Each structure stands twice: as C-alpha cells, then as structure tokens.
Amino acid sequence: MVRVEYVLDSWKAVRQDTANAVDDFPAADFDFRPAPDTMTFGEAARHILDASDGLTGLLLAGEDNFATPDFRDKMKPHMRKLAGDCGAPELAAALRESVEQRTAALGAQPAGFWDHYIVRFDGQRVTRLEMVQMIKEHEMTHRAHLFLCLRMKGIVPATTRRRLAKQAGK
C-alpha cells in the first residue's frame, strides 16, 4: 500500500529540484529550446506549475471526470495568477509556494477522499491518490526537459550536485 504522506513528501522533493533548476538556469535564456518543436525552458517550467495547480485544484474541488472536452478550461481558475513573462525568481517562488499549498490542502483530506475513483483525461479510472502520483510523474517528465536544458548550457542539476557532494564526503 502506498501512503498518502509518502506521495506528498516525494512530490515536494521533486518540486524542490524543479524550482532549483529554474533558479540555476540563466534567466536571459528562458526562451532556450533544446530542439525544434519542443517547449522552451521557460514554457516547460510554467507548464509544470500550471498543470499541477490545475489538476490538483480540480481534485480538491471534487471533480471526478477529467475526460471532458472542457477539462482544460475547468483547470484555469485553479492556476496561479502569475504574469506570462514573469521572471525566474517569481516562477521559482511560485513553484515552491504551489507545492506547499497543494500538499497541505491534499494532506488535510480525510482518508476516504483518496479511495474515490475519478476518470483521468485519457479515460482511465484511477483513485485520487493514483492521480496525485501521476501529477508527480508528469512533473518528473518535464523536469527531465529542464535538466536537459541545464546540461546543454553546461550547468549541473541539483540532483547530480547532491550526489557528487555525498560521494566526495565519503
């Protein structure tokens, strides 16, 4: 059995590394695109914020069918009011604030909340806990994009820096 606290704490750790990537990336290069037809660094970081706010907002609002044609419109009221051209410090702060607020709100839900089934946007039936796990996995996918951009700019991601520091301290 997967515990709610584990999923929420794990997501907070993932988000910290996402926010660190935003802090570490040169703000002047937020329009950097690693390949044609991919999101820029800034677009990917903002997508992580908007998607997680929108999806968790819908969960907390009691939405149980994400497979409707208007589900993206339903997400919008749950997204942060952050300027599209905001700077790196504002985006990193919003990423940190978002995960703290959402994990606190999710963590305050009664046990029965988590067992309730919803229909995901791809039509798959999952529990709310499984949906939060999917939101975290979605973030990890896009965080990998951010890490690729960091590497292409010669910047070592925080996850690798921690591992190297731990190895050096042996």
Residue 75 belongs to domain with CATH number: 1.20.120.450
Q: Enumerate the β-bridge partners of residue 65.
A: 119
Compute, in degrees rounded to 10, the torsion defined by CA atoms 157, 80, 84, 95: -10
Question: What range defines the domain where residue 52 resides?
Answer: 4-168
pLDDT in tens, 39-74: 999 999 999 999 999 999 999 999 999 999 999 999
- The residue written with tokens 């969960």 in the block is 59
The pTM assigned to this predicted structure is 0.94
- Residues of the chain short of pLDDT 50, as ranges, are none
Question: Distance (Å, rounded) from C-alpha 92 to C-alpha 135?
Answer: 18
Q: What is the pLDDT of residue 87?
A: 82
Residue 126 host element (H or E): strand 125-127
As for how many domains the chain has, the answer is 1
pLDDT of 132: 98
pLDDT confidence of residue 169: 82
pLDDT at 170: 66
